[in-house]
Amino acid sequence: MMIKCVLWFIISVFQFVTLVKISVAVGNLPLAPALYVFGDSLFDNGNNNLLPTVAKADFLPYGVNFATGVTGRFTNGRTVADFIAESLGLPYPPPYISVRLSTGHAGFNYASGSCGILPQTGSRYGKCLNLEEQIDLFERTVEPDLLARRLRNSNGLAKYFLSKSIFIFAIGSNDFLNNYLNRPNTFASTTRNNGDPAAQSFAQNLVDSLAHQLERLYRLGARKVIMFEIGPIGCIPSIIKKSNNEKGKCVEEINELASYFNQRLGLMLKNLTSSRQGSTFVLGQANWLGYDAINNPSKYGLKDSSNPCCTTWRNGTSSCIPWLMPCSEASSHYFWDAYHMTEAVCSVIANRCFNDSSVCSPSIYQLLQF
């Protein structure tokens, strides 16, 4: 009986590897078995629709350029995660909360708008899924959903399936925007001072907390992980318009907060890769790319890199006002609302990470060869 099980496992693995090689050759099968998505509103594609929170995007003009209309994505069309799914030849991972018993398992999306790495981040807006809760849901996916439904209770094949899957993260900006900067007098003091020890300590706490969750993910079977940096949050309309900075100029003191996190993030991911056998934790260097697109928009086919495309609440500092018509050329704008990128910018980041090792090293395409 044991010999039969071993033979069945070897045959199954051989069949899977053969399918992957064929997919590369003929382009009609996915390049990875699944894509798992974690993060905040940059990646949320509908989880918040079913949560008691005001942080929602389940109304027009959100989704105005998406193929199926409004979904809960916090942009006009596709997100970075959607473009990566397309490049992998996979369907868009569905929001876990709404379809977690879906058949044809090819990944799920656990991202949740307004939430962050720390459990208290975003709580003033209602319920969202913090990073620990997202990893909890992934664990529920693996045990028993993945093993029982997709892989016939074969633990060895499940591990192989997960080791070849891609895991992507975009999280951390809300921990500054909806947590650290909301503390009394913090925003004012941050825009006046550089090198704040409290901010550096906060950033280290975030990275330590993130590392703990990534280690959990590794123990659950993940081996190919891309974690995107926090973007240039000092350049978003919400921050610029709330500051007394020169019109249209990024608030570099706020960008410095992101740098405290990003510098520590890169080192942490390198340490995980070297200490966790068989793993690759990739730093998605989206910060410089986003900053360059904001300051040199014409290089990326953009015309406006400072104003939201949609009409927002609070004089351009918040989310889109429901049902109002957005700008006529969203593809020429960097920002969709006061926080989020347009589909056009998401496409640039995703494509560069997939193919360009100066943004993601190794690139996702290179990572697929491991």
Q: In which band, very low, low, confident or very high, does the pLDDT at 17 lie, cut at 50, 70 and 90?
A: very low
Q: Give the pLDDT confidence of 28-49 residue by residue, as tens digits.
A: 799 999 999 999 999 999 999 9
pTM: 0.90
Question: Which three-class secondary structure state does DSSP give residue 311?
Answer: coil
Q: Give the pLDDT confidence of 182-218 residue by residue, as tens digits.
A: 987 776 667 655 567 999 999 999 999 999 999 999 9
More confident residue, 185 or 281: 281
Contacts 24+ apart (CB under 8 A), 152-156: 154/8, 154/9, 154/12, 156/9
**Which residues are catalytic, by number?**
41, 337, 340
Helix boundaries (H) for the chain: 2-26, 80-88, 96-99, 131-140, 155-164, 173-177, 186-190, 197-219, 237-242, 252-275, 286-295, 313-316, 343-355, 364-367
More confident residue, 242 or 113: 113
pLDDT attached to residue 258 = 98
Out of 184-188, 264-268, 294-298, 354-358, least confident range: 184-188
Quick one: which of 195, 215, 213, 214 has its CA closest to 203?
A: 195
Distances (CA, A) of 338 to 81, 233, 261: 20, 11, 22
Q: Give the pLDDT confidence of 46-73 residue by residue, as tens digits.
A: 999 999 999 999 999 999 999 999 999 9
pLDDT attached to residue 261 = 98
Measured from the Cβ of residue 132, the count of other Cβ atoms closer than 10 Å reads 15
